[in-house]
Amino acid sequence: MPNRIHGCVLPSSGEWLATHAAGAVWVWDVESGDLRGMFDGRLVAAAPDGAWLAIGEPRTTAGRRRIRLHRMPDGRLSGELDAGPDDKPVATAPDGTWLALGRPAQPLALYGMPDGRLLDTTAPAARTVTADDDAFDVDGNERFVSAPDASWLAAETGPRQSRTRVWDTATGEVRATFACPLGPVHAVSPDGSWLAATPEETRTTLLDATGGRSAPVPLGEHNSPVTSYAFSPDSARLAVGCQDGTLWLWDLDAPGAAERPDPRRVPLSSCAAGPDGSWLATTDNNGPDGRITIWDAVTGDRRNAFGSGRYSSCVVAPDGAWLAAADRDAVAIWEVTTGRLLHRIECPVRPGESLLSAATNHVFDLAAAPDGAWLAAACEDGTVRLLDVATGQEREVLEHPAITGRMLRCVVAPDASWLAYSGLGGTVVHDLPSGTSRKVDSSSRLLGISPDGSLLAGANGPDICVWVAATGETLHVLRGHTHPVKTCAWSSDGTRLASVGDHTVRVWAADTGENETTVRLYADPDDSRNPMDCRWLPDGRSLAVTGKQGLYLFETDPVRIGDGNALGNSAPAAARWGS
């Protein structure tokens, strides 16, 4: 799921959670964390008990807007509403039998749910009440909310909507006035006692809607702008979703005591999967104290963390016994089960030579031999170092006159008969028994090798070229990314190819080159948080993706929900964590 969450709702049934992001509503199973399905549109409202969802479509050229009503949990279409361009949800019946839509200084429209039939139009006293010099009026964002039982109504008032005022809907009297706005993101607790507001985009404040506390109750600062709120059914806890992908959980009986940023939301640069698919390894290059982390692939829990450096590329031994990671101009090798450092192998620039592009001979990529006895490291100085895992010594240094700059990628054939490496100047295949090398491609940067070693994939800007390793013949050119592709990975059975670039992860059919699935992680293709790396788990369905916002795990088989909204080409079928 895209990282920026615009809204979320958690019904009292506790069975599912709905979130709104990137023009779609995503429905998740609360117990398992699996994605149940997705609807196109925006989240408008939901029944308190979770019996229905209201999904808004974009405005038509005539300015009207269709709101679809879906029964839950199966998502079946139950009715439609024809709303005006400025109509907003004002209140939902506590038992979910009606939904009120309206706009300032206009009568409310009351619709029976879940079929959407028009019940009545009315104008409560609170909609026309004035207090001091503040008319009940709101700015173009229509920032007003009501209690679940419609006993009160709150709105931003005053100069530039600098205050929040709460009216009693039965008497029209002012219950409370707070010296802060509701802000662009706000929510009401199920019992109607609390208002969660964002007077500043990174700050959450509680307002006592009962009038018992006259001053706002500050909860605290977040690392990035708040994008959504969700109260627990008992109104005891508040979940806060932020733009950077963190989720904060507040205990309202003791505010500030339980803020919980998701520990998985650290910037991650690379990932590798254990041979049995039960765990994943990630690297963190965000500062000198970066870590290697081992994650449980089923639960998403952290099993272990070790190391301290600026780690980029990583690779796991075929038997899962060791893990190697690039740490600037060195390669560190650890024992996976214990986190014990086995070797740290320096890769300095060769004597008598110097780097023109950097001060450090960075290691850009790693590849392991099929038997796990050695690994290859692609370096800044245009060389590939073959490193012995048992001794921690350098076996051999490979280079080719075609590579005129840094070495960016290296892959090893499944039978260890050859390896391919790529840099500024093209892609070269090196025959290991004979020691001879040949250039096979000039236009593409090497990205990956098929499981049987017959095919290579490379990037030519936003396009992916797939060619025959033995002859260099181009089989497919995969087009769809809008920005340069960073990396790609074949599934274990060789039938699919995953790629990351711009703001998306794409899955391609290896035999036809067709785009099967596109996962949109972020809204802006120029965002620096774009995905960095991807790896398939051995099951061939689960795809791990790393990026500036953490680790994601997707199941890529398409599923459907309700009236047939297919997920195949627009969303992952399930996301176990990090979505």
SS (H, E, C) 211-229: CCCCCCEEEEECCCCEEEE
Instruction: Report pLDDT for 58.
Output: 75
pLDDT band at residue 301 using 50, 70 and 90 as cut-offs: confident
Instruction: Report pLDDT for 527.
Output: 52
- A 10 A CB-CB count for 571 gives 27
Q: How far is Cα 365 from Cα 384, in angstroms, rounded to an integer? A: 9
Instruction: Report pLDDT for 288.
Output: 65
pLDDT band at residue 566 using 50, 70 and 90 as cut-offs: very low
Q: How far is Cα 439 from Cα 425, in angstroms, rounded to an integer? A: 10
Question: Has residue 160 got a pLDDT over 50?
Answer: yes
Instruction: Report pLDDT for 138.
Output: 34
Nearest to 546 by CA among 314, 230, 336, 386: 314
pLDDT band at residue 565 using 50, 70 and 90 as cut-offs: very low
Q: Which segments of 430-538 does DSSP mark as H helices, in order?
A: none
Q: How far is Cα 428 from Cα 439, in angstroms, rounded to an integer? A: 4
Q: How far is Cα 377 from Cα 314, in angstroms, rounded to an integer? A: 10
Taking residues 210-236, what's their average pLDDT? 77
pLDDT band at residue 363 using 50, 70 and 90 as cut-offs: very high
94: amino acid identity, one letter: P
0.85 exceeded by the pTM? no
CA-angle at 125, arms to 120 and 129, nearest 5°:
140
Look up residue 429 and give its two tokens: 């295949």
Q: How far is Cα 467 from Cα 472, in angstroms, rounded to an integer? A: 6
Same CATH fold, 125-255 and 1-123?
yes
- CB 357, CB 380: distance < 8 Å: yes
For the chain, give the mean pLDDT. Answer: 77
Q: Which residue has the tokens 């807007």?
A: 65
- Range of weakest confidence among 306-320, 421-435, 438-452: 438-452
Instruction: Report pLDDT for 548.
Output: 67
Instruction: Report pLDDT for 17.
Output: 81
Please tell me whether residue 125 adopts helix, strand or coil conformation: helix
- CB 150, CB 95: distance < 8 Å: no
Between 258 and 441, whose confidence is greater? 441
pLDDT band at residue 376 using 50, 70 and 90 as cut-offs: very high
- CB 440, CB 485: distance < 8 Å: no
Taking residues 19-34, what's their average pLDDT? 76
Task: Report the relative pairing of strands 455-460 and 463-468 from DSSP bridges.
Answer: antiparallel
Instruction: Report pLDDT for 278.
Output: 87
Nearest to 71 by CA among 54, 89, 90: 54
Superfamily of the domain at 347-442: TolB, C-terminal domain (2.120.10.30)
Question: Has residue 47 got a pLDDT over 50?
Answer: yes
The DSSP code sequence of 144-159 is EEE-TTSSEEEEEESG
500: amino acid identity, one letter: V
Q: How far is Cα 242 from Cα 189, in angstroms, rounded to an integer? A: 19
Instruction: Report pLDDT for 516.
Output: 87
Instruction: Report pLDDT for 368.
Output: 95
pLDDT band at residue 141 using 50, 70 and 90 as cut-offs: very low
Superfamily of the domain at 125-255: YVTN repeat-like/Quinoprotein amine dehydrogenase (2.130.10.10)
Distances (CA, A) of 527 to 80, 187, 502, 511, 550: 36, 28, 8, 32, 15
pLDDT digits (tens, 9 = 90+) for 228-279: 787 877 787 777 777 765 667 677 765 443 333 343 445 677 888 889 888 8
Instruction: Report pLDDT for 578.
Output: 27
Question: Has residue 335 got a pLDDT over 90?
Answer: yes
Look up residue 500 and give its two tokens: 């990351």
Residues in the chain: 579
Q: How far is Cα 148 from Cα 142, in angstroms, rounded to an integer? A: 18
pLDDT band at residue 200 using 50, 70 and 90 as cut-offs: confident
- Range of weakest confidence among 259-263, 380-384, 492-496: 259-263
Q: What whole-number percentage of the chain has pLDDT above 70?
A: 79
Question: Has residue 318 got a pLDDT over 90?
Answer: yes
> Backbone dihedral region of 480: left (phi > 0), alpha (psi from -120 to 50 degrees) or beta?
left
Taking residues 93-117, what's their average pLDDT? 74
Instruction: Report pLDDT for 46.
Output: 86
- CB 467, CB 453: distance < 8 Å: no
Instruction: Report pLDDT for 544.
Output: 86
Contacts with 237 (C-beta within 8 Å, 6 or more apart), sequence order: 231, 249, 250, 251, 252, 258
Superfamily of the domain at 1-123: YVTN repeat-like/Quinoprotein amine dehydrogenase (2.130.10.10)
What residues pair up with 71 in beta bridges, in sequence order? Answer: 52
- Range of weakest confidence among 66-75, 136-145, 419-428: 136-145
Taking residues 480-493, what's their average pLDDT? 88
Between 520 and 576, whose confidence is greater? 520
User: What is the DSSP secondary structure assignment for residue 183, as one 8-state letter?
Assistant: -
Please tell me whether residue 493 adopts helix, strand or coil conformation: coil
Domain boundaries, the chain: 1-123, 125-255, 347-442
- CB 137, CB 128: distance < 8 Å: no
Question: Has residue 408 got a pLDDT over 80?
Answer: yes
Instruction: Report pLDDT for 171.
Output: 72
Look up residue 11 and give its two tokens: 């019904």
